[in-house]
A and B are shown apart, each in its own frame.
Chain A
Amino acid sequence: MKQSYLTALILIAVIAVIAVGSQMLGIRLYDRIATNLLISLVLVVGLQTFMGNSGLLSFAHIGFMGLGAYTSAVLTIPAQMKGMALPDLYEFMKVVEISPMLAMLAAGVVAALVAAVVAYPLMRLSDAAAVITSFALLVVLYTVMNNWSALTNGPRTLFGLPKTTEMPIAAIVAAIVVVVALAFKESRTGKLLRASREDEVAAAALGANIPHLRWRAFILAAFIAGIGGALWGHFITSFAPKAFYLKETFLIITMLVIGGANTVTGAVAGTVLITVAYEGLRGTEAALNAGSSGSGQVIGLTEIVLALAMIAVMIVRPGGLFPNREIGHILTRSRRKKEKTA
């Protein structure tokens, strides 16, 4: 337990360093990248609560982020702008306008409710079937967002969200989410779920109701994804459904997997590492495009490099950078070892 406190402390310190450091540099671009990083952190740690503890890959996470972003948008776009931003919105919702903080909570709740309803049958499936239906779920959520014009403005860009996500808010939410993920991991549900990850039959024999445990974790992950979506929506202020699809899914899965899906430390490390690599590669791509004017655009290079990196990590270190121990655990162990040898 003490190790978990240490882990939480170190991870929150990392978040604080990122937040304060980017502010101190005073370059707007860095501020943007750091805020983006912290929002990704919320999403990746959210995915970790499900994937890390249950051992099942979930592709639907970004879909729940989308639900959160749209929920918050509908609730917060100022009433006088709604006529323009969402012309087909239902009459009774046109007057609704609540504070972004409240809307963020609502976004999490909506995502969690939807997850609770859809995921119940899915969690009863065998591992592989559960994974591929989560992929189908992502497509369905995307289809709904893309076509429910009344609430989402269809495939067109939705604009007019108040810009309320500033660096400190993103940092605070990220810190809370890290603590929640660590607490969940050590909770009864989390421990039983991790037991089922290691050995399904043995865990079931000990009385673990595996589908139910997975269901709980899935709802928590969706809740966090919804919050992350709202956070992102109020940061970017205009978006279209295609922001919540395969490309983003690939990115957050890369972050989690390269860092190590089984640990919260891994989720944080992966997010930082991949964000830096991503921004670097994006910059290179932009430079290449600017250099070779006219001779065709360079697109997809970033994804190719990330995909290769992901395959390489899986081959060399299938558990990621932090495969099974949190940072606090690693530190206390190494100290104990030193004391023994001394």
Chain B
Amino acid sequence: MAFAIQFLIDVLSLGGAYALMALGLVIIYGILRLVNFAYGELIMVAGYTMFLTSGSGLPWLLMAVLAVAMAVVFGILTDYVAFRPVRAKSVTAVLITSFAFSNLLQNAALLFISPRPRNVPLPDIFSQTVSIGGAITPVRNLITIAASIVLLAAVAFLMRKTTLGIAMRAAATNFTMARMLGVPANLIISSAFALSGFLAGVVGLLWIGRIGTVVPGVGLEPLLVAFIATVIGGMRSLPGAVVGGFLLALIDTTLNYTLSQDLLKFRDAFTFSLVILILLWRPEGLIKGPASGQRT
């Protein structure tokens, strides 16, 4: 029983984080059909904001808000630097500019801060553990689960009930049509980037809360997770991203428990092989997105 609870909490907390990461990527992809390679760096930005403000004596919650705000700012900046100037040209051009922007941010961190890991301040609650039904769990896992439930619900509400969300979904379904009906394109795209940055910021806090330090390459793993989760989920569908995130977490956690120490090092390779099998079966991903519209 204790094992079952342990397993469930592990899957849910990892899956919640994965789902949020994937969601942040899909929101952009859904509207623009463009992949944001600089997404992982938003998490890095959140982490370094925490590190840089750690000496200021601000309460932790304020620093966290600041970190998320910086991730939002850099999300919008990504739009202006890497996406807007080349958006109309070609898919490859945007892939390359966002890849270059990601490298730019990483190397800026390398140059101006340090290649070495930096400590991030964390409240005590992140390192405490509790016992639920005999299973000893870090509190941060429960925080992650709670945060992901709240955020997923909030995003679902935003997308379904608010004008902004409906406009975003309309733009994702058929961008040209949405524009003709008076949806302001640039505003919608920038809001999508802001939302993506917000999700990255929150995930960044939770993710870095697990590790405790931030390095310039910290965004790589979340980026990869988001990539794989969205591909499994179907690239264009928001529920698909969430499902993909949880499925990936399930695969990862199961492998964590079942693989021997020698094989555990290859976990990513195993996960990826499973993903390839899923894609052999369903090349379109698990959940089909809205009918394809014109790319902008």
Contacts and interface: CB of A to CB of B under 8 A. Distances in A.
Nearest to A132: B227
A314 to B, nearest CB: 5
Which one of B111, B115, B220 has the greatest number of beta carbons of chain A within 10 Å? B111
A131 B36 CA distance: 12
A121 B96 CA distance: 24
Nearest to B230: A132
A167 B115 CA distance: 35
B97 interface: yes
A147 B266 contact: yes
B96 A257 contact: yes
B231 A310 contact: no
Contacts of B285: 129
Chain B interface size band reads 35 or more
A121 B279 contact: yes
Contact of B108 (A127, A254, A261, A300): A300
B272 A136 contact: yes
A314 B93 contact: yes
A301 B104 CA distance: 9
A57 interface: yes
Interface residues of B, dominant DSSP: helix
B115 A57 contact: no
Contact of A303 (B89, B97, B103): B103
Contacts, number: 128
B107 interface: yes
B91 A128 contact: yes
Contact of B115 (A128, A143, A147, A299): A299
B107 A135 contact: no
B111 A314 contact: no
Contact of A308 (B86, B104, B220, B279): B104
Given A125-B279, A147-B266, A310-B100, A298 B111 contact: yes
B35 A131 contact: yes
Interface string B81-96: 1100110011111011
A322 to B, nearest CB: 15
Contacts of B224: 135-136, 139
Interface string B38-78: 00000000000000000000000000000000000000000
A311 B81 contact: yes
B265 interface: yes
B228 interface: yes
A131 B95 CA distance: 9
Nearest to A308: B104
A132 B223 CA distance: 10
A133 interface: yes
A64 B270 CA distance: 18
Interface in B277-296: 279-280, 283-285
Question: For chain A, which range describes its interface: under 10, 10 to 19, 20 to 34, or 35 or more residues?
Answer: 35 or more
B276 interface: yes
B7 interface: no
Contacts of B272: 136-137, 139-140
B126 interface: no
A137 B224 CA distance: 10
B23 interface: no
A98 interface: no
A314 B231 contact: no
Nearest to B277: A121
A125 B95 CA distance: 17
Interface string A251-269: 0011001000100000000
B142 to A, nearest CB: 30
A307 B235 contact: no
A307 B110 CA distance: 14
Contacts of A254: 100
A290 B66 CA distance: 37
B75 to A, nearest CB: 17
Nearest to B263: A147
A304 B111 contact: yes
Contacts of B284: 126
Contact of B283 (A124, A306, A307): A124
A135 B103 CA distance: 15
B246 interface: no
A49 to B, nearest CB: 16
Contacts of A300: 106-108, 110-111
Contacts of A246: 220
Nearest to B265: A147
Contact of A250 (B91, B95, B99, B265): B99
Nearest to A249: B99
B101 interface: yes
Contacts of A136: 224, 227-228, 272, 275
B254 to A, nearest CB: 18
Given A132-B35, A299-B111, A304 B86 contact: no
B269 interface: yes
A128 B235 contact: yes
A143 B266 contact: yes
Contact of A57 (B82, B95, B107, B220): B95
21 contacts: A129-B231, A132-B227, A133-B227, A133-B275, A135-B227, A136-B275, A139-B272, A140-B268, A140-B272, A144-B266, A148-B266, A250-B99, A299-B115, A303-B106, A303-B107, A307-B101, A307-B103, A311-B101, A311-B104, A314-B97, A314-B100
Interface of A: 55-57, 118, 121-122, 124-129, 131-133, 135-137, 139-140, 143-144, 146-148, 246, 250, 253-254, 257, 261, 298-301, 303-304, 306-308, 310-311, 314-315, 318
3 closest Cβ contacts across the A-B interface? A300-B107, A300-B110, A307-B104
Given A128-B29, A144-B266, 13 more contacts: A125-B231, A126-B284, A128-B34, A131-B35, A132-B231, A133-B231, A139-B220, A144-B269, A146-B265, A299-B110, A311-B82, A315-B97, A318-B89
